[in-house]
């Protein structure tokens, strides 16, 4: 019986990211204050506290460890797969590169993960606006944190955390020169946002528009693969 209960609760009782506890505590304090004023408001506050806790969940992930695979850095929906010029601060040049854009809504896990083993060779924060992260112009105009990752064969991958309409804080825990592993947690964005991945020239995106990504698990590219860019259809 105990094992059955544990199996039922395991998908629900997941770890909480450390960045979430101050917010959860604030939501709980407000809920308590509302309950003291008017009990039905307290129940609304309690529901919002539960949502806040759910937002900051940080479930473990199983990352494919074959060399040359890139995994998604974010949970969410693939909105765009197209060539695009990387942000200048990434230092990846002015030529368009294959770009995969993953949009996270407020119900997705917002913990971001490193797409592959390698070394952090570039970090840059760019202040900006807070347009809806689903818009293409968000890549250029919104507040963002850019990360340049050099993988084992010397090629470089760009990862850009982009603030959204209600996102007002980007957290990136990486430091320049740091060695990282694919699937490793590296930051979080609050609340609702987008992550862009810029692939090396000539590497095909293996994520299709409309596909749901799981950070640290879903393969988005194979640096040595010969497969053409994937397309998908709703079924």
What is the residue extent of each domain of the chain? 2-55, 69-222
Q: In this structure, are residues 193 and 166 in contact, taking their beta carbons and an 8 Å threshold?
A: no
Active site (annotated) includes residue 72: no
For residue 211, give both structure tokens. Answer: 């596909």
Task: Answer yes or no: CATH 2.70.70.10 is held by domain 69-222.
Answer: yes
| Strand ordering across the sheet containing 193-198 | 179-180, 118-126, 144-150, 156-163, 193-198, 97-104, 76-84, 212-213
- Rounded to the nearest 10 degrees, the angle between the axes of helix 39-55 and helix 21-37 is 170
For residue 62, give both structure tokens. Answer: 């199983």
pLDDT at 76: 94
Closest CA to 198 of 228, 156, 144, 142: 156
Handedness of CA 51, 141, 219, 79 (dihedral sign): positive
**Helical ranges in 56-171 per DSSP H:** 138-141
Question: Counting beta carbons within 10 angstroms of the beta carbon of residue 58, is it exposed (0 to 12), middle (13 to 18) or buried (19 or more)?
Answer: middle
**What are the pLDDT tens digits along the chain (235 aa)?**
555 544 444 555 678 888 888 888 999 999 999 888 888 888 998 999 998 888 889 999 999 999 899 999 999 999 999 999 999 999 999 999 999 999 998 889 989 999 999 999 999 998 877 666 666 766 777 889 999 999 999 999 999 999 877 656 889 999 999 999 999 999 998 776 899 999 999 999 999 999 999 999 999 999 998 888 888 888 8
Catalytic residue among 72, 139, 146, 193: 193
pTM beyond cutoff 0.95: no
- d(CA 114, CA 180) in angstroms, rounded, equals 7
Please confirm whether the linkage preceding 191 is cis (ω < 30° from 0). yes
pLDDT at 6: 47
């Amino acid at each position: 019986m105990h094992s059955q209960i544990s199996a039922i609760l395991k998908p629900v009782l997941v770890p909480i990211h450390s960045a979430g506890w101050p917010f959860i505590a604030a939501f709980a304090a407000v809920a308590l204050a509302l309950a003291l004023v008017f009990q039905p408001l307290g129940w609304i506050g309690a529901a919002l506290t539960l949502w806040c806790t759910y937002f900051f969940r940080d479930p473990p992930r199983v990352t494919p460890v074959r060399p040359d695979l890139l995994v998604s850095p974010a949970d969410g929906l693939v909105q765009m797969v197209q060539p695009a010029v990387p942000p200048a601060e990434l230092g990846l040049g002015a030529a368009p590169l294959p770009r995969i854009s993953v949009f996270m809504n407020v119900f997705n896990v917002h913990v971001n993960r490193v797409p592959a083993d390698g070394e952090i060779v570039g970090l840059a924060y760019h202040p900006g606006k807070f347009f809806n992260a689903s818009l293409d112009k968000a890549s250029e105009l919104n507040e963002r944190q850019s990360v340049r990752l050099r993988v084992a064969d010397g090629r470089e991958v760009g990862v850009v955390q982009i603030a959204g309409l209600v996102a007002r804080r980007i957290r990136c825990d990486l430091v320049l020169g740091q060695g990282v592993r694919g699937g490793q947690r590296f930051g979080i964005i609050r609340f609702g946002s987008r992550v862009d991945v810029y692939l090396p020239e000539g590497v095909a995106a293996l994520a299709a528009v409309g596909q749901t990504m799981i950070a640290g698990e879903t393969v988005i590219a194979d640096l040595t693969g010969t497969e053409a860019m994937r397309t998908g259809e709703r079924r």
